[in-house]
Amino acid sequence: MASAHKQPNYIGVFWWLLALTVIEVAVIFLPIARLLIGILLVGLALSKASLVAMYFMHLKFEARTLGLIAMTPLLLCVLLIFALLPDLSATPHRTTESSQVSATPH
């Protein structure tokens, strides 16, 4: 027989999510570097996603293996971001005017 878990405090989770959302809005207006704002927003979004997954998706009360399975997309996303970071420093290809083909006849 499976043991029943304690009913989560959904109202408390709602207030935490609301507070994190207010902090996210406030972070946008901080006079700090855009990179730091981005890092803070991603961290806050991950916190909110964790709360939703743990309480509304009931992962807090499941076996650890199910939680690890749920973390797999996050790990793949982080891997993809780091794999594509070198492309941010690439310079765009520029064509010269003489090599461009005109679409209208002369």
**Among 9, 10, 8, which Cα is nearest to 61's?**
8
pLDDT recorded at residue 15? 97
Tell whether 28 is covered by a domain. yes
pLDDT recorded at residue 27? 97
Tell whether 30 is covered by a domain. yes
Give pTM, 2 decimals. Answer: 0.65
- The range of the structural domain enclosing residue 23 comes to 10-84
pLDDT recorded at residue 38? 92
Query: Tokens 């991950």 map to which residue?
Result: 46
**Structural domain count, the chain:** 1
Would you tell me how many other CB atoms lie within 10 Å of the CB of residue 55? 19
Q: Which ranges in 29-105 belong to alpha helices (H)?
A: 34-51, 64-84
Tell whether 102 is covered by a domain. no
d(CA 43, CA 23): 11
Tell whether 74 is covered by a domain. yes
Tell whether 3 is covered by a domain. no
Tell whether 91 is covered by a domain. no
The total number of residues written for the chain in this structure: 106
pLDDT recorded at residue 1? 47
Tell whether 57 is covered by a domain. yes
| Tens digit of pLDDT at every position of the chain (106 positions) | 456 667 888 999 999 999 999 999 999 999 999 999 999 999 999 999 989 988 888 777 777 787 788 788 888 988 988 888 888 887 777 776 655 555 566 5
Tell whether 56 is covered by a domain. yes
